[in-house]
Amino acid sequence: MDQLRIKDLEVYAYHGVFAAEKELGQRFVLDLILEYDMTRAAKSGDLTASVHYGELAQELVKWSQESKEDLIETLAYKLIDRIFLAYPLVRKISLEVKKPWAPVPLPLDTCSVRLQREKYTAFIGLGSNQGDKSANLSAALEKMAEQNIRVLQASSCIETEPWGGVEQDPFLNQVVEVETWLNPEELMQTLLAIEEDLGRVREIKWGPRVIDLDILYIGKQEIFSPDLIVPHPYVAERAFVLQSLLEIAPHFVDPVQKKSIRKLWSEVEK
């Protein structure tokens, strides 16, 4: 991927755990690498297909001075967030925040942290069978957009019978493809927070719920941890999920089953 680099940009700001650091301030140094496709800009001279590094440098200075953080990790994270929001064409960011005047009583050149984040796509399943189901799905999508989860495409909403053996009202279900730079654990925690904010209460497994947000796929990744399993362990068994996926991503290949969504759908449809 093509790269734009801003090296050793000096910023005077007010970050640190000590009161004097926040009061007097000190010098920080930023080393930034942005990755995005520069082909269109290079061939046509179209400035809208590029990142104006002069403007970005000024923005970095302004953003660095807007708050006073205890940790330079927090500063780096917030700067990455602002860059992704301001420059949608950027796919990957590597940012090092250096603190050459770190209050350490030892001979050292600098202390620094380096954060790297990259955009990826994921498929998320939505479901609701309490209250205004359609409004619940719409509210969830709005809250996702507020949390750096951009919807690329959405399936139709379909009414489905409950899955899991618990007697309850029919569901309204939908699948969306999203783009985000949140890491998988952050994505999961963000979706859980949205569920809670919309009033979901977890009482009965596979029971009725105001909103249900499931991570189905994260690209071709396979994740198995105590808190997150991707692909979703039941995705190949749930016809209503496959039906929605078929509408927006029929040729996507399940990394575990090694079969396309079209093929998985044909197997459960029988």
Among all residues, which ones are annotated catalytic? 99
Q: How far apart, in whole angstroms, are the C-alpha atoms of residue 256 and residue 92?
A: 26
The answer to whether 174 and 159 are in contact (CB under 8 A) is no
Supply angle C-alpha 220, 224, 230, rounded to 5. 40
Q: Are strands 149-154 and 111-118 parallel, antiparallel or unpaired?
A: unpaired
Two structure tokens written together for 109: 């050149």
Strands 229-230 and 149-154: unpaired
Distance between CA atoms of residues 41 and 61, nearest Å: 25
